Chains A and B, each alone.
Chain A
């Protein structure tokens, strides 16, 4: 019968396909180096770190680096997988982790939208439902201008803005993002108004600046330094308390030095699901602390001109609460808060 003939051929073909794919999967397993050794305490199975951005976003890159170093330095025996749960500006991700009450294998990357999205969207505050383990990456920011512009300092830039309200243009990422908050803070600190043009992503905003469509841009130091070195941007001010000590950074003036009280930055860390075992929080805290002391970690931090001040599980909740208060106030000031 015709159907039977087709069928036997089909079984034959698909079995070959399946066997092939299984062999492939098996090889990849081995390559990925699945570790089976049992840790004395700590997670009992593979660990998931949930982040709310897609692959390639800053929090995603940081967490992948964490996973890589924890594995390579044999600090955590269990494999760590990064899960990108996008949607709702981190709210889908955080609600998923909150739903894993007491989960021993579920961690959440901490990033700013975790605190600011509920404020901007008028939702229930969520960061306080998670159990912070540690905050261990800080990112500083820089304001830059066009290389052929007449501005020599942030003070010059602000003076021009005073003469010409809304005349100077900033490109940045979406409304309510760090870029947007920094520009709002600068407006507040200097008593001026800019024309802020939101783009879909930070890199689109950078492209717009490099195409000479706007006058100012907020960059992380990791993005800024190569652009400064190649003469594509002119540094105006670093938004830190004191000047950074790195050789590449020591010549950049802070905003404070130029008489403008603007200190702002980003931070990242890890939190556990609600009801996570306190012993496990401490276990992770210790591992992360050891990780931040490794050479590989320090090199990564230096490459990106980030800082790694370790805020441990005892201090992290208070730190986050304080940050939340600051964000709430700022977003209310610029009319974005719905809380």
Chain B
């Protein structure tokens, strides 16, 4: 009850005209930068921080956090409409969302993403409001062994992603792992597979790779046939969700919220990993896993719900411990420092006004974003009514400039171009592209966590079963690995008896 009182005070603070204005500005800016390829919410928060100089710290934080979760909504737009992930956490949306757009269902994909993001955001926020101290202790129980098993879970999902043979999907996953090996090994500081190229020392970032293989690859493929084609052919009113869509996605949204929120609260992960894991989890839980990669609406719902749930979940370690749960919360913490407020475990007790106003403003912001996105989804989708020929040069140009903006180096642009060509060739050789992204993001987490685990245990593998959460996760991993084999044996028996 005490918490409700604080929250009411928070709303009183957040509902002043000035704060409302800044919530709106933040959400709008987040929506826009989220949609821009390359530049993600964390970079945008840093770039736009000077906008907040001169306003009170609470108002400044309200605006910056608006960019943080607004970006989660905005990232969907470019992923669905032009197959270029707007920000890192929307990459899995590009896989299925664009296929939906090609089928004339861009509006449905955008609508479900908006609803999912809203649900995930508000549910997580409520958990943050009521359970922060409890959950921060739980989040700390996740360390190297648990991260290793989580990453393993995600990586093993690559086998079943994509419509071709499992061997091909796995091979693409291995290719992604190879890319992830490039760079300085953080554990011992030696260079691996950099072949003397300085720009490779920090490894290959996955944003340029994803923009290349999805965005540029798709554009190149579109050049094969010379037709005057328009991507979107359907009428506006066909763009809304049907009752059937809703039935399909309801549980995906709930599952996405749970996965996204918990992964988001862990200090070592973030919205990108959350949405990847939610996608993989949904693939296992879905009644139609065969549709994944070909335009599954529930896949979009799960991934988009999870990234916003994770964006808010990341507030838990930030508020309770002063540790960022994601890149964006790291910038929020930096903003606090620049504004002269010392973050840490006592932030909630020392600055209750600031914290509760911020949380209340996030409820308001999520509502604003829902309004901004849901009725406008068909309108955004109608961008696809522009003849593709006139849209395409812009897609390439904005992708390349956006990639440049992430690292301010032409090297990343080169990576994008290279992977654009690789992406096109992968399309031609019928290789699924999603496993690469999964592998690049999860490989460092998996490798480093394994090594950290063994350092923590002085070399003993028992660490994976001694820790309760780790033991449970290990069981889940083993079960998911064993399941297809068991199923196969069962099918074979059935077929054998049928043959006889």
Is there a contact between chains A and B in the complex with CB atoms less than 8 Å apart?
yes
Interface residues of A (CB under 8 A from B): 3, 6-7, 9-10, 13-14, 24, 28, 31-32, 54-57, 60-61, 64-65, 67-68, 71-72, 82-89, 91-92, 95-96, 120-121, 123, 166, 169, 174-176, 195, 197-200, 203-204, 206-208, 210-214, 222-223, 225-227, 229-230, 232, 299-300, 303-304, 336
Closest Cβ–Cβ distance, residue A171 to chain B (whole Å):
8
Contact B267 A207 (CB under 8 A): yes
Contact A197 B202 (CB under 8 A): no
Residue in A3, A64, A211 whose CB lies within 8 Å of B140:
A211
**Given A82-B46, A207-B317: A197 and B386 interface contact (C-beta under 8 Å):** no
Closest Cβ–Cβ distance, residue B340 to chain A (whole Å):
5
Contacts of B198 in A (CB 8 A): 87-88, 91-92, 95, 123
Residue interface mask B373-411, A partner, CB < 8 A = 1: 000000000110111001000000000000000011101
**Given A55-B334, A223-B322: A86 and B267 interface contact (C-beta under 8 Å):** no
Closest Cβ–Cβ distance, residue A199 to chain B (whole Å):
7
Q: Which residue of B lies closest to A79 (CB)?
A: B50
Is B248 close to A, CB under 8 A? no
Contact residues of A: prevailing secondary structure: helix
Closest Cβ–Cβ distance, residue A79 to chain B (whole Å):
8
Chosen A-B contacts, 6 in total, with CB atoms closer than 8 Å, are A13-B383, A56-B42, A61-B337, A89-B202, A174-B186, A174-B189
Q: How far is the CA of A9 from the CA of B452 in the complex (A)?
A: 58
Closest Cβ–Cβ distance, residue B446 to chain A (whole Å):
12
Contact B455 A83 (CB under 8 A): no
Contact B342 A14 (CB under 8 A): no
Q: How far is the CA of A35 from the CA of B230 in the complex (A)?
A: 45
Q: How far is the CA of A95 from the CA of B280 in the complex (A)?
A: 41
Residue interface mask B138-156, A partner, CB < 8 A = 1: 0011111000000000000
Contacts of B184 in A (CB 8 A): 89, 121
Is B45 close to A, CB under 8 A? yes
Closest Cβ–Cβ distance, residue B402 to chain A (whole Å):
15
Contact B337 A213 (CB under 8 A): no
**Given A222-B342, A303-B340: A204 and B267 interface contact (C-beta under 8 Å):** yes
Q: How far is the CA of A9 from the CA of B232 in the complex (A)?
A: 14
Q: Which residue of A lies closest to B201 (CB)?
A: A88
Q: Which residue of B lies closest to A230 (CB)?
A: B345
Contacts of A9 in B (CB 8 A): 385
Closest Cβ–Cβ distance, residue B45 to chain A (whole Å):
7
Residue in B51, B186, B340, B452 whose CB lies within 8 Å of A28:
B51
Contact B407 A208 (CB under 8 A): no
Q: Please indicate which of the listed interface residues A88, A230, A304 has the most CB atoms of chain B within 10 Å of its own CB.
A: A88
Contact B189 A84 (CB under 8 A): no
Q: How far is the CA of A84 from the CA of B49 in the complex (A)?
A: 14
Q: How far is the CA of A250 from the CA of B464 in the complex (A)?
A: 43
Is B330 close to A, CB under 8 A? yes
Q: Which residue of A lies closest to B145 (CB)?
A: A213
Closest Cβ–Cβ distance, residue B184 to chain A (whole Å):
7
Q: How far is the CA of A119 from the CA of B19 in the complex (A)?
A: 49
Is B352 close to A, CB under 8 A? no
Contacts of A174 in B (CB 8 A): 186-187, 189
